[in-house]
Structure formats: structure tokens, C-alpha cells
DNA sequence: GTCTATATTAAGATAGAC
DNA sequence: GTCTATCTTAATATAGAC
């Protein structure tokens, strides 16, 4: 196969590690150990080294989250209800870093945005794509385009922040408060 | 003096570096170079090494931000207006990491919360203290205590998220949108 | 209290056998 | 394509002179 399964395996392992530990705390040695691939394979598949792995991991995570968000947002027609399910999923997965939904790029974004323009852009584009999903859901439900775009950005920021604070405080309360306030925020 | 000015100098330098670059990207060598203090002094003043410096830097930053927030929040009696000034300050200082206000612990919080319980707690307490300032401002203006507490948490989370996304996207729009939506969020 | 020299470990990266 | 051995650099930390 052109894109071997060993390559994908490295990417999946790296993505999880970068999400939880961040860029600098995740060593190639750890990626090697946890993925089972040897160092030689890493530099064969990713000749530009760690930065290339991180770049592709951000793109990969962006896509996974996009798909998961899309599924949750289309499960209910009502935008308030479906956005509340998105938050609820985050609550349910607190402390279970696999299968996260909505914010898992915040750490690597903050770590790398002042260090690598390539990585900053990749994180920025992931954020934008999520914002657009929220906006589209609102447009479908009769919101004007500009207003939907504003709210899409606000929602993505708020999710990002509430997840950060919930993880730091080891407490789902911030996310639960956000969930309850969604109807307040989603106003035409 | 008991707490020498060299000690404070190290702490101020480390706090800025941790805010911008994060915990793992900031080496003791860099703290030494930028503070002008030699390595021996660091381990004299902070015998437990990097983790101790980070712990005290988080507490220090928490206090500086608290004082700055307090000043901005008391400048106007109206809670909406004063919260909007808080956001405006963040916009004004985007890209100027000194004298930040409101979120500069997010990176180190995400980096360390799954690694050091001591650091996680310190970050958590800084967040809580900022949430309380927002809540107190609302209580002064007639909000019920429980509602003010909820909104204090929501506001701090939202600021955190909007700053993260603004920095990552190199664009103040997320913060500016938040500023405009503050009146929508602050409802009894 | 201050500073230098050094120990120790681990990081990212490469060379080259297979 | 896979794996090992190794290079180089930089990290945290310590010892000990002054």
C-alpha cells in the first residue's frame, strides 16, 4: 500500500499523545515505544521529523473532530439541542482522551503558534473548519449568514475555553454550565 | 533582604516565558540567560528546581492578573461596560505578552494538569480567583449569588477560549466578537 | 549568597546494515 | 521498507570554589 498502515499507526499514536501531553512533552522516543514502530520507520515515513508528524497529526485530528462534530450536529434538527449534545459528549469524555470532540488542538496550538508558522496555520484552519460547522447548522435553521458566522466563532471559542478550564479544574462544572447557557447564547 | 530582588527577577522572567512559550519549551538555561542570574542562584533560591519555579510563577501571574482585572472591573460601575473593557485590554495587548490580563495561564495549565497535581491545583486556583472577581462584580449589581457564580465561570472560560483562538489565528476577531456579545451573555 | 564547571540523562536526528 | 547503533546537542541538576 502507498500509505502504509505503519504510517497511519504512527500518526494515530502521535495525535493522541500531542492532544494530551502537548508538543514538547511528547518525544519521538515515546511515539516509537507506544506505536511499536522503530525510529528508522518514523524518519522513513516523516523525513522532516517531529514538526512534520505534528503537522499531519493536527490535520488528522482536525478531520476526526470535524467528522464527529458533524455526526452529533446532524443527529437533531434543533441547533440548541444538537449543540448541547456536543457539550454533553465533552463532559462524557472528560478524562478519556480518546475519541475527543471539539477542542483537542488547543494545547498544541498555544505551544506552537509563536514558534512555527506552519503549525500555527494548521491549528488555525482546524479551528476555522469547526467554526464553520456550527455556523452552517445555524444557517440551516434560519439564522442570517453574518450572525451565524459570529456565533460559530463564539461557540467554538467558548467550547475551547470551557474544556480547558474543566480539564484544569478536574471538574465538569464549567462544561455543564456552558451546556445550560447555550439557549442564551444562540439568539438571532 | 530575605526575599532578594534577584529571586523576584528570576520569577518575573520565568513567568513571562512560561506564559508565552509554555512549561516544556522554557529551559532553565533560557531563564538564566534572560534574567541575568547564574544557574547557581536559581538552585539557591528554588532548591526544588523547575517545578518550584513554575509553581511560584503561576501563583505570581495569578496575582498580577487578579490585580489588573480588579482595576479594570472597578473603573466602571456597569458590569457590561467593565467586562467589555477587560476584553478590549486583551485585544490591545494581543502580541504584546507583557502586562497580559485574564488568560495567561492556559498554556501551562493544559501542559501540566495531567503531569503534576501541584501545578494543576495552582492553575485551577488562579482560574477560580478570576471567576470570583467576575461573580462579585455581578453580585454588586444585583445578580443573585448562584447566577453570578455561574456567569463568572462562563465568562472566565469564554475569555480563555477567545484569547486562545485569537492568538492561534493571529486575529483579534474572536475577542472582538466576544466583546460585542457580552450584553447577550450577562443576563440575570 | 554568587558563580563556574561539570555530571547525567534524554532529546532529535542520521547512517547504514538487512 | 524495517531496524539498530550512534552522533550531537541541550535539558535538568549538582558540587564546590569564592
Residues A58-84: what's their mean pLDDT? 97
Which has more pLDDT, B151 or A104? B151
A52 touches chain B (CB under 8 A): no
Whether the pLDDT of residue A5 is over 50: the answer is yes
Q: How many Cβ atoms sit within 10 Å of the Cβ of residue A52?
A: 15
Whether the pLDDT of residue A24 is over 50: the answer is yes
**Is B159 within 8 Å of B178 (Cβ atoms)?**
yes
Q: Summarize pLDDT for B48-100 with one digit per residue, the tens.
A: 999 999 999 999 999 999 999 999 999 999 999 999 999 999 999 997 766 66
Q: Quote the percentage of chain A above a pLDDT of 70.
A: 95
Contact B150 A25 (CB under 8 A): no
- Check whether residue A24 has its CB closer than 7 Å to nucleic acid strand D: no
In the block, cell 522554557 appears at B26
Question: Band of the pLDDT at A96, cuts 50, 70, 90?
Answer: confident
Q: Summarize pLDDT for B129-156 with one digit per residue, the tens.
A: 999 999 999 999 999 999 999 999 999 9
Question: Band of the pLDDT at A69, cuts 50, 70, 90?
Answer: very high
Note which residues in 94-133 of chain A have CB less than 8 A from chain B: 106-107, 109-111, 113-115, 120, 123-124, 127-128
Whether the pLDDT of residue B187 is over 90: the answer is yes
How much is the pLDDT for B102? 53
Which of B 13-52 have CB under 7 A of nucleic chain C? 37-41, 43-45
Residue of B87, B153, B161 lying closest to A153 (CA atoms): B161
| CB proximity list for A152: less than 8 A, separation 6 or greater | A131, A132, A133, A134, A135, A136, A138
Q: What angle do the packed helices B79-92 and B145-169 form, to 10 degrees?
A: 20
For chain A, give the mean pLDDT.
93
Whether the pLDDT of residue A2 is over 70: the answer is no
Q: Quote the percentage of chain B above a pLDDT of 70.
A: 95
Nearest-by-CA chain A residue for B25:
A24
Closest residue to B161, CB basis, from A159, A167, A181: A159
Contact A25 B120 (CB under 8 A): no
User: Which domains, ranges and CATH numbers included, belong to chain B?
Assistant: 51-185 (1.10.357.10)
Whether the pLDDT of residue A125 is over 80: the answer is yes
Amino acid at each position: 500500500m502507498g500509505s502504509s498502515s505503519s504510517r497511519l499507526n504512527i500518526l494515530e499514536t502521535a495525535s493522541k499523545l500531542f492532544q494530551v501531553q502537548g508538543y514538547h512533552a511528547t518525544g519521538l522516543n515515546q511515539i516509537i515505544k507506544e506505536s511499536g514502530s522503530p525510529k528508522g520507520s518514523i524518519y522513513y515515513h516523516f523525513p522532516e521529523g517531529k514538526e512534520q508528524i505534528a503537522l499531519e497529526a493536527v490535520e488528522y485530528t482536525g478531520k476526526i473532530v470535524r467528522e464527529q462534530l458533524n455526526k452529533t450536529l446532524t443527529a437533531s434538527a434543533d441547533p440548541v439541542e444538537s449543540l448541547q449534545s456536543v457539550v454533553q459528549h465533552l463532559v462524557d469524555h472528560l478524562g478519556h482522551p480518546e475519541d475527543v470532540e471539539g477542542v483537542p488542538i488547543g494545547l498544541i496550538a498555544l505551544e506552537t503558534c509563536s514558534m512555527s508558522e506552519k503549525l500555527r496555520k494548521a491549528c488555525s484552519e482546524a479551528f476555522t473548519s469547526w467554526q464553520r460547522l456550527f455556523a452552517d447548522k445555524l444557517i440551516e435553521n434560519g439564522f442570517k449568514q453574518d450572525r451565524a458566522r459570529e456565533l460559530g466563532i463564539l461557540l467554538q471559542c467558548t467550547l475551547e475555553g470551557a474544556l480547558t478550564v474543566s480539564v484544569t479544574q478536574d471538574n465538569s462544572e464549567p462544561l455543564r454550565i456552558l451546556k445550560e447557557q447555550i439557549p442564551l447564547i444562540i439568539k438571532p
